[in-house]
Structure 1
Amino acid sequence: MKNLTLLVAMFLTTVVATAQVAIIQDKDGYTNVREKPNGQSQVIHKLYSNEVFWYEYEEGQDTNEWIPVFIPMNAFSFSSTQPDYIEGFIHKSRLQPLDKLQPYQGTEFKFEYLLEPFKLNNRIVEKHEGKWVKTIAGRPVWGTDGNFPKTQVKGVNVIVEGKKVEINKPLYSDIYECTNTFKVYKNGDSYIMYQWNSDGAGAYQIVWIFTKEGLKQRLVGSMI
């Protein structure tokens, strides 16, 4: 296995073995994130409705009342390498796994990547040990395991309740090997698009969250 893949795998193993994506369910509209797994621990953050994050939980852990969560440092997963996050705990009664939501089957939300073959176009490439692609133009290369990508995104078309949403280039310049196969959920006024992308080895998750007001969050990573 390539050295870069090994490094990434080691990094992810220290973070979480089986991270999944969730939102919260709380009538107050937010949930406290605590430093340690108990209700008396310091509150280090608040998670709000329809804000996605990673969590670690396995079936059979029902005796554990507190769930480890991994929260991105910014709303759009802008990072130079791997995703930055903070780690804390929420009570399991406040957890709403994304895949437990009812899939959206309506027509008020449309999402489409415009795809093209990869073109370097004089962008600066950073390589690990001079071999494996680490960053392109200072951004992560999501979707490969150290090779140059095969496909890239040249634009994103999004329509929410009849209104076109503009997606600026920095929001799609680090994601590669995308497809237009994904799942869509609706929770309240939010439309949540979720998918896995990869070239066969460099798998990563991406979640886009929209309301009719525009893009609210983009979560990108390979927390598996």
Structure 2
Amino acid sequence: MKLFLPVLLLFTFFRVQAQFAVVEDKDGYVNVRRDPGTSAPVIGRIQSGDVVFLTDQKNGWQYVDCYINHKNTTGYIHPSRLKAVDKFTSAHRVVHSADSVFFRLGNLQVGIRETSFVAKKNRIRYRKTEAGRMVDKINDRSFWGTDGYLPASQYQHITCFWEGKEVAVPDSAINDVFNPNLHMTTVLYDKGTKRWYIAATNSDGAGGYEVIWVFEQGEYKQRFVYYGF
């Protein structure tokens, strides 16, 4: 039993890294197809640099969760157009407490802090269901991290420093993703593109989700959130 928790954490550490992949194509985009194969209908395009979530493979093609025109969808991409996030260099976790974690890799520093969610400090909208009253919106936004109940915790801030300069992370990047798991968070750096990624497997059970933030050459770029199953 003493080995169970370390083994579980090691498994989830590699799981966070391995399930994301970055689209890389010399044309600047990749086609997403309805079925595996070049003759299958194209359902949309994804730009190079976007991040998809890997699920199964079929006939040599990768089935992915992705965003097309800002809508979450699924389809097939040839693996030659994808680069797994676990190919990048992992930043070192140098500090980890109950509510914060700090990573360092060369000129890159990343600090993440969580705090308790306080309902009275937020606008909560409910909806009626057969199971009772459930949370529908938080601060007028859809949210991730619970299955209709109030969150227990939230991100307080994500702070990045790149080559001595602070990189601004907007509130909109973190204020609708709840119940963070700091022990299941990694920071990865791609030297070739000077991009870094903060990836996390958050919450649990029906509220579980995967989130990855993308930064490039000292600027915050975008965020992708997937259910992960």
TM-score with structure 1 setting the length:
0.72
* Contact preservation (8 Å) 2:46, 2:67: no
Deviation per residue, 1:192-216 (Å, 9 max, x gap): 1111111565211110110124111
Deviation per residue, 1:112-141 (Å, 9 max, x gap): 233222122250323351422232123233
Matched with 2:53 is 54
Provide the secondary structure at the position in 1 that maps to 2:182: coil
Q: Select 2:176's aligned residue among 166, 174, 177.
A: 174
Matched with 2:84 is 97
Matched with 1:197 is 202
Q: Distance in 2 between matches of 1:49 and 1:126?
A: 38
Matched with 1:131 is 133
Deviation per residue, 1:132-156 (Å, 9 max, x gap): 2232123233222332111122332
How many percent of aligned residue pairs carry the same amino acid? Answer: 32
* Contact preservation (8 Å) 2:215, 2:222: yes
Alignment of 1:25-40 (within 5 A): 25-26=24-25, 30-40=29-39
Flag structure 1 segments of 5+ consecutive residues without an equivalent.
Answer: 1-18, 76-83
Matched to 2:199, the amino acid is Y
Decide which structure has greater strand share: 2
Matched with 2:62 is 67
Provide the secondary structure at the position in 1 that maps to 2:149: coil
Q: Distance in 2 between matches of 1:122 and 1:186?
A: 34
Provide the secondary structure at the position in 2 that maps to 1:131: strand
Pairwise CA RMSD: 2.8
Provide the secondary structure at the position in 1 that maps to 2:90: coil
Decide which structure has greater helix share: 2
Q: Select 2:75's aligned residue among 84, 88, 91.
A: 88
Matched with 1:115 is 114
Seen in structure 2, the aligned counterparts of structure 1 residues 221 and 88 have a Cα distance that, compared at 3 Å, is: closer
Deviation per residue, 1:72-111 (Å, 9 max, x gap): 2467xxxxxxxx3133322122232323444244232222
* Contact preservation (8 Å) 2:46, 2:68: no
Aligned residues: 194
* Contact preservation (8 Å) 1:126, 1:138: no
Higher relative contact order (CA 8 A, sep 6+): 1
Q: Distance in 1 between matches of 2:19 and 2:31?
A: 19
Matched with 1:4 is none
Q: Distance in 2 between matches of 1:112 and 1:28?
A: 35
* Contact preservation (8 Å) 1:69, 1:90: yes
Matched with 2:98 is none
* Contact preservation (8 Å) 1:33, 1:89: yes
* Contact preservation (8 Å) 1:159, 1:165: yes
Q: Distance in 1 between matches of 2:108 and 2:209?
A: 23
Flag structure 2 segments of 5+ consecutive residues without an equivalent.
Answer: 1-17, 93-104
